[in-house]
Amino acid sequence: MASQSPPAPWETVRRKVESGRRLTAAEGEFLFRPEVDLHVLGQLADLVRRRTSGNVAYYNLNAHRTPPTSARSVAPYVPTAATPPTRRPTS
């Protein structure tokens, strides 16, 4: 009877993710290798996401606003806050 070879790293990772167990550091590093199929990795990541968050997705919106040009007195170093040059009296 031939002995079975140990499962490939990809199959070990798949089994652990599907059963809800943590990956080792070596298994996590394996996921960065170029031969890993990103579509399958995405499916496993979605499985974990659905297990933890349900069928809900969260998005982060960047609500950054640029200050208006009326902020000249607050930030005189802003390029748009330049004041026109003043004329010196000639003598």
Asked whether residue 83 is domain-assigned, the answer is no
Q: Which domain holds residue 15?
A: 9-53
What's the Cα-to-Cα distance from 64 to each of 60, 61, 67, 68, 69, rounded to whole Å?
A: 12, 9, 9, 12, 16
- The string of pLDDT tens digits covering residues 9-45 is 888 999 999 999 999 999 999 999 998 889 999 999 9
Domains: count for the chain: 1
Q: Residue 60: what pLDDT?
A: 78
Question: Can you say how many angstroms the Cα of residue 25 is from the centroid of all Cα atoms in its chain?
Answer: 20
In the chain, the amino acid numbered 38 is: L
Asked whether residue 66 is domain-assigned, the answer is no
Total-model pTM: 0.54
pLDDT exceeds cutoff 70 at 68: no
Q: How far apart are CA 52 and CA 58, in angstroms?
A: 13
Q: What is the mean pLDDT of the chain?
A: 78
Asked whether residue 4 is domain-assigned, the answer is no
- Long-range pairs of 48-56 with CB within 8 A, sequence gap ≥ 24: 48/17, 51/20
Asked whether residue 42 is domain-assigned, the answer is yes
Asked whether residue 1 is domain-assigned, the answer is no
